[in-house]
Structure 1
Amino acid sequence: MFEQCRWINEPAQWRVDNDTLIVTTDTNTDFWRKTHYGFVRDNGHVFAASVEGDFTAEVAVAGDFSALYDQAGLMIRESPERWIKAGAEYNDGALTFSTVLTNDLSDWSLGSRAGANRFRLRVTIAQGVLKVQCSADERN
């Protein structure tokens, strides 16, 4: 399942257990570009596979989201300046669904409260259109 994946910014602690990727993130890692916050980060962890054309990627995520900006999900990355990350992120004392779209500048949107520390995420690209779906029900 993970044979074709390669790390972008490999974390110090990770392993694959059957069909589950288990990661402990390094501190102060993120992907973020040129906003009013005044900094650029390109040191987050991504276990990536190269794809071409239309595709769907889907994951079930479970995590310990307790510190500001703790996050996990999926990333579609064309380059360091052009990418999207989508998933759940801990912000303002709660876990929320989050999407950051970056085309040189990062644009962040937060959705409804995710609630539990488990969720499912699906990203689809079809005919040049990107669709992100997230569910707090880890089975759907």
Structure 2
Amino acid sequence: MTRVQRYIPHPPHRVWDAVLDPTSWWEAPERPIEVVVGARFDLETVPIVGTRFTGAFEVEILDALRGERLRTSLVALAQPGSPAEWERHTTFREHEGGTLLNVANVGVSMRDRDERLLLRAVKDIQEWELHGVAELLDRARP
């Protein structure tokens, strides 16, 4: 499991909106996502060099409560071999006038060298995305 945490000086409902705004993402889905349990979308990135992972991800929303939590499945497609199947748990907690945002990746097979490398890349991307969320919110300030 990995955890990325960031304090963002905006209320949870605004952080939620920014997290779900594809302009804050490193790699956005081809069409806007609907945030309802069961919604699915695909993401395409560059292949993870030195691993079996192709850069194609299938994502499904498993649980969502606006401004509080978002849980998604993440299936990283592979060629050859089995995909990596994880969950991403994102929580939004009001903290000191802003939001403490936590993102955890769970279900990673740490015995699988390729998954460990993929996890490292995904964690770096998530940190970059949270930076994009903060920038998006700061640009929106009056």
TM range (shorter): 0.3 to 0.5
- TM-score normalized with structure 2 length: 0.32
Instruction: Select the structure that is richer in strand.
Output: 1
- Ranked by relative contact order (alpha carbons within 8 Å, sequence separation 6 or more), the top structure is 2
